[in-house]
């Protein structure tokens, strides 16, 4: 899967929004596919890749940005 950089277990929502707004980061929504359709809220502009598809779809993720992973 190449190089993966993990930067801390949590990020403040204000910091996450600033990083996305500045083009420094993207948000990866990894909510399971059987749960996702029923979710009342998702993060606008996020990329949804369920956990069972991460390896298959890894190439869709940018290599030049921080990836903020979100799951409920």
Every domain of the chain and the residues it spans: 13-70
pTM comes to 0.75
**66, 7 contact by CB (below 8 A):** yes
pLDDT of res. 1: 47
pLDDT of res. 60: 93
Rounded to an integer, what distance in angstroms lies between the CA atom of residue 15 and that of residue 17? 5
**33, 50 contact by CB (below 8 A):** yes
One of 1.10.10.60, 3.40.250.10, 3.30.450.20, 3.30.300.30 is the CATH number of 13-70, namely 3.40.250.10
Q: Mean pLDDT over residues 22-35, rounded?
A: 87
């Amino acid at each position: 899967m190449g190089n993966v950089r993990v930067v801390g277990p949590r990020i403040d929502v204000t910091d996450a929004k600033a990083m996305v707004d500045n083009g420094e980061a993207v948000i990866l929504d990894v909510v399971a596919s059987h749960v996702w359709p029923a979710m009342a809220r998702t993060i606008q502009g996020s990329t949804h890749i369920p956990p069972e598809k991460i390896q298959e779809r890894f190439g869709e993720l940018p290599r030049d940005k921080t990836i903020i992973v979100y799951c409920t």
